[in-house]
Amino acid sequence: MFGVLPSAARLHRSWRYRLHQQLCREQDRRAQQHTQAATEPPGPPLDPRVDGARFVAAAVAGVGDVARFNKVWHDLSLVPTDEEIHQPEAWLRRVGL
């Protein structure tokens, strides 16, 4: 009525084949991702402390005195923007230091 059932050995071979194909596809996908990641240019530093440290060093050098630089903490409007973090000279001009 439903036809001939395959033998157990044939079913086992079929299952192993499908499993092997899935593993091969997964390995190909991972290799492709690895190749893509290796060819992409590196992005900006992931640690914002690096940018902040550069800003503080440049701002203190521009002001010439840490006490004058600490003026930034007296008023929220004096805090540098994201753009000014990368251009300390713009922040110095804005706050008048």
Question: pTM score > 0.85 for this model?
Answer: no
Ramachandran angles phi, psi of 96, nearest 5°: 75, 35
pLDDT over 70 (residue 44) = no
Q: Is the pLDDT of residue 40 over 70?
A: no
Kindly tell me the number of DSSP H helices and DSSP E strands found in the chain.
Answer: 5, 0
Q: Which domain holds residue 70?
A: 48-95
What is the tens place of the pLDDT at every residue in 77-96? Answer: 888 888 888 899 999 899 88
33 shares a domain with 13: yes
Domain assignment of residue 70, yes or no? yes
d(C-alpha 37, C-alpha 59), whole Å: 36
In the chain, the amino acid numbered 89 is E
The total domain count for the chain is: 2
Is 85 domain-assigned? yes
- 2 part of a folded domain: no
Same domain, 53 and 82: yes
